[in-house]
Amino acid sequence: MQPLVSILIPTYNRPDYFEQALRSALAQTYSNFEIVISDNSDNTETEQVVARYLAHPNGSKIRYHRNPKNIGPIANQQQCLNLANGEYINYLNDDDLFHPQKIEKMINFILGHAGVVLVSSQRRVIDANGKQIYVPPVLTFRKFSTRDTVINGRVLTEKMLRNQTNYLGEPTTVLFKRSALTEPFGVLAGKQVFFAVDMASWVNLMTQGNAAILVQPLSYLRYHSTQLSQHKYARKVGELDIKTFERFAKIHGYIQ
Protein backbone atom coordinates (compact mmCIF):
# COMPACT_ATOMS: atom_id res chain seq x y z
CA MET A 1 0.00 0.00 0.00
CA GLN A 2 1.19 3.50 -0.76
CA PRO A 3 2.35 5.39 2.35
CA LEU A 4 0.28 8.36 3.48
CA VAL A 5 1.83 11.74 2.62
CA SER A 6 0.72 14.80 4.57
CA ILE A 7 0.75 18.09 2.66
CA LEU A 8 0.92 20.83 5.28
CA ILE A 9 -0.35 24.35 4.55
CA PRO A 10 0.16 26.86 7.38
CA THR A 11 -1.62 30.04 6.31
CA TYR A 12 -2.32 33.63 7.32
CA ASN A 13 -4.54 36.19 5.56
CA ARG A 14 -3.72 35.18 1.98
CA PRO A 15 -7.00 33.72 0.66
CA ASP A 16 -6.20 34.31 -3.02
CA TYR A 17 -2.70 32.82 -2.95
CA PHE A 18 -3.91 30.12 -0.56
CA GLU A 19 -6.61 29.02 -3.00
CA GLN A 20 -4.02 28.58 -5.74
CA ALA A 21 -1.79 26.58 -3.40
CA LEU A 22 -4.70 24.40 -2.32
CA ARG A 23 -5.69 23.70 -5.91
CA SER A 24 -2.15 22.58 -6.71
CA ALA A 25 -2.25 20.19 -3.74
CA LEU A 26 -5.61 18.76 -4.73
CA ALA A 27 -4.32 18.16 -8.28
CA GLN A 28 -1.60 15.71 -7.21
CA THR A 29 -1.33 12.50 -9.24
CA TYR A 30 -0.29 10.58 -6.12
CA SER A 31 -3.45 9.23 -4.50
CA ASN A 32 -2.73 8.56 -0.82
CA PHE A 33 -2.35 12.02 0.67
CA GLU A 34 -4.01 14.35 3.13
CA ILE A 35 -3.98 18.15 3.22
CA VAL A 36 -3.61 19.66 6.69
CA ILE A 37 -4.41 23.38 6.91
CA SER A 38 -3.64 25.41 10.02
CA ASP A 39 -5.14 28.88 9.71
CA ASN A 40 -3.76 31.89 11.61
CA SER A 41 -6.04 34.38 9.82
CA ASP A 42 -7.91 37.11 11.65
CA ASN A 43 -10.95 36.73 9.35
CA THR A 44 -12.98 33.89 7.79
CA GLU A 45 -11.93 34.37 4.16
CA THR A 46 -9.57 31.37 4.10
CA GLU A 47 -12.13 29.21 5.85
CA GLN A 48 -14.65 30.14 3.17
CA VAL A 49 -12.20 29.11 0.46
CA VAL A 50 -11.75 25.73 2.14
CA ALA A 51 -15.53 25.23 2.37
CA ARG A 52 -15.85 25.67 -1.41
CA TYR A 53 -13.32 22.90 -2.06
CA LEU A 54 -14.80 20.24 0.19
CA ALA A 55 -16.93 19.12 -2.78
CA HIS A 56 -13.82 18.64 -4.93
CA PRO A 57 -13.11 14.99 -5.91
CA ASN A 58 -10.23 15.08 -3.42
CA GLY A 59 -12.07 17.32 -0.95
CA SER A 60 -12.39 14.54 1.62
CA LYS A 61 -8.59 14.66 1.99
CA ILE A 62 -8.74 18.20 3.45
CA ARG A 63 -8.40 18.68 7.21
CA TYR A 64 -8.88 22.26 8.35
CA HIS A 65 -7.99 23.80 11.71
CA ARG A 66 -8.48 27.46 12.56
CA ASN A 67 -6.48 28.87 15.46
CA PRO A 68 -8.51 30.95 17.92
CA LYS A 69 -5.70 33.51 17.76
CA ASN A 70 -2.59 34.09 15.68
CA ILE A 71 0.12 31.83 17.13
CA GLY A 72 2.85 33.09 14.77
CA PRO A 73 4.35 31.47 11.65
CA ILE A 74 6.82 29.09 13.31
CA ALA A 75 4.33 27.73 15.84
CA ASN A 76 1.83 27.34 13.02
CA GLN A 77 4.30 25.26 11.02
CA GLN A 78 4.90 23.08 14.05
CA GLN A 79 1.19 22.73 14.73
CA CYS A 80 0.59 21.56 11.16
CA LEU A 81 3.10 18.78 11.71
CA ASN A 82 1.51 17.83 15.04
CA LEU A 83 -1.88 17.53 13.33
CA ALA A 84 -0.55 15.37 10.49
CA ASN A 85 -1.02 11.61 10.20
CA GLY A 86 1.37 10.95 7.33
CA GLU A 87 4.51 8.86 7.30
CA TYR A 88 5.98 11.39 4.87
CA ILE A 89 5.66 15.18 5.02
CA ASN A 90 5.74 17.99 2.48
CA TYR A 91 5.03 21.57 3.50
CA LEU A 92 3.34 23.86 1.00
CA ASN A 93 3.74 27.56 1.78
CA ASP A 94 0.41 29.30 1.24
CA ASP A 95 1.80 31.45 -1.58
CA ASP A 96 3.66 28.66 -3.44
CA LEU A 97 2.56 25.95 -5.88
CA PHE A 98 3.21 22.24 -6.48
CA HIS A 99 3.80 20.60 -9.84
CA PRO A 100 1.00 17.98 -10.27
CA GLN A 101 3.50 15.09 -10.13
CA LYS A 102 5.57 16.43 -7.23
CA ILE A 103 4.47 13.98 -4.54
CA GLU A 104 4.33 10.99 -6.89
CA LYS A 105 7.86 11.48 -8.20
CA MET A 106 9.38 12.24 -4.82
CA ILE A 107 7.73 9.41 -2.90
CA ASN A 108 8.66 6.90 -5.62
CA PHE A 109 12.27 8.04 -5.45
CA ILE A 110 12.55 7.94 -1.68
CA LEU A 111 10.93 4.49 -1.51
CA GLY A 112 13.32 3.21 -4.16
CA HIS A 113 16.50 4.39 -2.42
CA ALA A 114 17.30 2.99 1.02
CA GLY A 115 18.79 5.47 3.45
CA VAL A 116 17.29 8.59 1.83
CA VAL A 117 15.36 10.66 4.39
CA LEU A 118 14.51 13.70 2.25
CA VAL A 119 14.05 14.56 -1.40
CA SER A 120 14.35 18.00 -2.98
CA SER A 121 14.25 19.12 -6.60
CA GLN A 122 15.04 22.00 -8.85
CA ARG A 123 12.36 24.70 -8.73
CA ARG A 124 11.12 27.83 -10.44
CA VAL A 125 10.42 31.31 -9.05
CA ILE A 126 7.21 33.15 -9.95
CA ASP A 127 6.04 36.67 -9.22
CA ALA A 128 2.85 37.92 -7.58
CA ASN A 129 0.91 37.20 -10.78
CA GLY A 130 2.30 33.72 -11.30
CA LYS A 131 4.73 34.69 -14.06
CA GLN A 132 8.12 32.97 -13.98
CA ILE A 133 10.83 35.43 -12.94
CA TYR A 134 14.00 33.36 -13.11
CA VAL A 135 15.48 29.94 -12.50
CA PRO A 136 17.23 29.72 -9.09
CA PRO A 137 20.85 28.57 -9.16
CA VAL A 138 21.26 24.80 -9.05
CA LEU A 139 23.45 23.21 -6.43
CA THR A 140 27.10 23.99 -6.89
CA PHE A 141 27.84 20.30 -7.38
CA ARG A 142 28.00 20.00 -11.17
CA LYS A 143 26.66 16.44 -11.30
CA PHE A 144 23.40 17.45 -9.59
CA SER A 145 22.29 19.48 -12.59
CA THR A 146 22.31 16.56 -15.04
CA ARG A 147 20.69 13.63 -13.24
CA ASP A 148 18.71 12.66 -10.16
CA THR A 149 21.29 12.18 -7.43
CA VAL A 150 21.57 10.76 -3.91
CA ILE A 151 23.90 12.82 -1.74
CA ASN A 152 25.62 11.70 1.44
CA GLY A 153 23.83 13.52 4.25
CA ARG A 154 26.94 14.34 6.20
CA VAL A 155 28.79 15.69 3.15
CA LEU A 156 25.90 17.96 2.19
CA THR A 157 25.37 19.15 5.76
CA GLU A 158 29.04 20.09 6.05
CA LYS A 159 28.81 22.11 2.83
CA MET A 160 25.59 23.85 3.92
CA LEU A 161 27.08 24.80 7.28
CA ARG A 162 30.41 25.95 5.83
CA ASN A 163 28.79 28.10 3.14
CA GLN A 164 25.82 29.15 5.29
CA THR A 165 23.58 28.21 2.37
CA ASN A 166 20.39 26.18 2.20
CA TYR A 167 21.13 24.11 -0.90
CA LEU A 168 17.99 21.98 -0.47
CA GLY A 169 15.46 24.78 -0.78
CA GLU A 170 12.43 26.14 1.01
CA PRO A 171 9.76 24.15 2.92
CA THR A 172 7.65 23.76 -0.24
CA THR A 173 10.54 22.13 -2.10
CA VAL A 174 11.36 19.19 0.20
CA LEU A 175 9.53 15.95 1.00
CA PHE A 176 10.86 14.16 4.07
CA LYS A 177 10.46 11.07 6.19
CA ARG A 178 8.70 12.10 9.36
CA SER A 179 10.35 9.55 11.67
CA ALA A 180 13.80 10.91 10.75
CA LEU A 181 13.03 14.37 12.16
CA THR A 182 14.24 14.13 15.76
CA GLU A 183 13.13 17.61 16.92
CA PRO A 184 10.15 19.89 16.21
CA PHE A 185 10.26 21.60 12.83
CA GLY A 186 12.69 24.51 13.03
CA VAL A 187 14.32 23.40 16.28
CA LEU A 188 18.02 22.51 16.17
CA ALA A 189 20.17 21.15 19.00
CA GLY A 190 17.36 22.03 21.41
CA LYS A 191 17.13 25.68 20.30
CA GLN A 192 14.46 27.38 18.22
CA VAL A 193 15.73 28.79 14.92
CA PHE A 194 14.04 32.03 13.85
CA PHE A 195 15.02 32.64 10.21
CA ALA A 196 16.61 29.55 8.62
CA VAL A 197 13.84 27.33 10.01
CA ASP A 198 13.81 25.00 7.02
CA MET A 199 17.60 24.64 6.85
CA ALA A 200 17.62 23.74 10.54
CA SER A 201 15.28 20.84 9.91
CA TRP A 202 17.11 19.69 6.77
CA VAL A 203 20.42 19.33 8.63
CA ASN A 204 18.57 17.66 11.52
CA LEU A 205 17.10 15.12 9.11
CA MET A 206 20.48 14.42 7.54
CA THR A 207 21.86 13.22 10.86
CA GLN A 208 19.64 10.20 10.14
CA GLY A 209 20.38 9.59 6.47
CA ASN A 210 20.97 10.93 2.98
CA ALA A 211 19.35 13.52 0.73
CA ALA A 212 18.35 13.40 -2.93
CA ILE A 213 17.97 16.05 -5.62
CA LEU A 214 15.67 15.51 -8.61
CA VAL A 215 16.43 17.33 -11.85
CA GLN A 216 12.83 18.13 -12.84
CA PRO A 217 11.45 21.36 -11.32
CA LEU A 218 8.59 20.23 -9.07
CA SER A 219 7.66 23.39 -7.16
CA TYR A 220 7.06 27.05 -7.80
CA LEU A 221 8.16 29.64 -5.24
CA ARG A 222 6.37 32.96 -5.26
CA TYR A 223 8.36 36.12 -4.56
CA HIS A 224 6.31 39.14 -3.50
CA SER A 225 6.61 42.13 -1.21
CA THR A 226 4.47 40.78 1.67
CA GLN A 227 6.34 37.54 2.36
CA LEU A 228 8.28 37.37 5.60
CA SER A 229 11.63 36.63 3.95
CA GLN A 230 11.42 40.00 2.16
CA HIS A 231 10.92 41.96 5.38
CA LYS A 232 13.60 44.60 6.01
CA TYR A 233 14.54 42.99 9.34
CA ALA A 234 14.66 39.40 8.05
CA ARG A 235 18.46 39.22 7.85
CA LYS A 236 18.83 40.73 11.31
CA VAL A 237 16.60 37.99 12.65
CA GLY A 238 18.77 35.48 10.80
CA GLU A 239 21.82 36.59 12.73
CA LEU A 240 20.17 35.21 15.88
CA ASP A 241 20.50 31.71 14.39
CA ILE A 242 24.27 31.67 13.94
CA LYS A 243 25.16 30.41 17.41
CA THR A 244 22.52 27.68 17.17
CA PHE A 245 24.03 26.34 13.93
CA GLU A 246 27.53 26.59 15.44
CA ARG A 247 26.38 24.59 18.46
CA PHE A 248 24.89 21.91 16.20
CA ALA A 249 28.12 21.81 14.18
CA LYS A 250 30.20 21.26 17.31
CA ILE A 251 27.87 18.56 18.67
CA HIS A 252 28.10 16.59 15.43
CA GLY A 253 31.82 17.10 14.85
CA TYR A 254 31.75 19.50 11.92
CA ILE A 255 33.91 22.08 13.72
CA GLN A 256 36.21 21.93 16.72
Q: What CATH architecture does domain 5-251 belong to?
A: Alpha-Beta Complex (3.90)
pLDDT truncated to tens, each residue of the chain (256 aa)? 899 999 999 999 999 999 999 999 999 999 999 999 999 999 999 999 999 999 999 999 999 999 999 999 999 999 999 999 999 999 999 999 999 999 999 999 999 999 999 999 999 999 988 898 876 665 544 455 678 999 999 999 999 999 999 999 999 999 999 999 999 999 999 999 999 999 999 999 999 999 999 999 999 999 877 655 554 666 676 788 999 999 999 999 998 6
What per-residue confidence (pLDDT) applies to 115? 98
Bridge partner list, 175? 90, 119
175-220 pLDDT, tens digit each = 999 999 999 999 999 999 999 999 999 999 999 999 999 999 999 9
What per-residue confidence (pLDDT) applies to 140? 44
Q: Cα separation of 169 and 202, whole Å?
A: 9
The CA distances from residue 237 to 79, 160, 194, 229, 247, in Å, are 22, 19, 7, 10, 18
Nearest to 214 by CA among 156, 153, 151, 147: 147
Do residues 175 and 181 make contact, with C-beta atoms less than 8 angstroms apart? no
- What crossing angle do the helices spanning 242-251 and 153-163 adopt, rounded to 10°? 140
Amino acid at 214: L
Do residues 86 and 66 make contact, with C-beta atoms less than 8 angstroms apart? no
Sign of CA dihedral 242, 184, 220, 150: positive
What per-residue confidence (pLDDT) applies to 1? 84
What per-residue confidence (pLDDT) applies to 144? 58
The alpha carbon torsion through 120, 124, 130, 132 (nearest 10 deg) reads 180
pTM exceeding the 0.85 threshold for the entire prediction: yes
What per-residue confidence (pLDDT) applies to 141? 46
